[in-house]
Amino acid sequence: MTSLEQHTTQAHSLEPDLITISINDQAHQVASESNLQQIIRQFELPEMGCVFAINNTVVPHSEWGCTVLSQGDSLSLFQAIAGG
């Protein structure tokens, strides 16, 4: 992380409407009460081919909209890629 990014992160963490979550062990700031659908949009990921897991349990796509995140939540996020 560059010093500029560190500065930005610190500045953001003071904002009341942002929370810090972890996606694949990387810290990210998102709007508080974001759901998984909004995470996909925020990070410009394709809807098809992506899948979330929380505590090694797959979150069905139908539950993305109602899975609301809290400060400190830890997500695993996978995507279909090329492979043999």
Judged by CB under 8 A, the number of residues near another protein is 27
Distance from the Cα of residue 38 to its chain's centroid: 9
Alpha carbon distance 20, 2 (integer Å): 18
**Which of residues 16 and 84 has its CB atom nearest to another protein in the complex?**
84
Place of tokens 């609301």: 68
Q: Is 31 in the site for another protein (CB under 8 A)?
A: no
Min CB(24)–another protein separation in Å: 5
2 binding another protein? (CB under 8 A) = no
Residue located via tokens 């995470």: 39
Interaction of residue 28 with another protein, rule CB under 8 A: yes
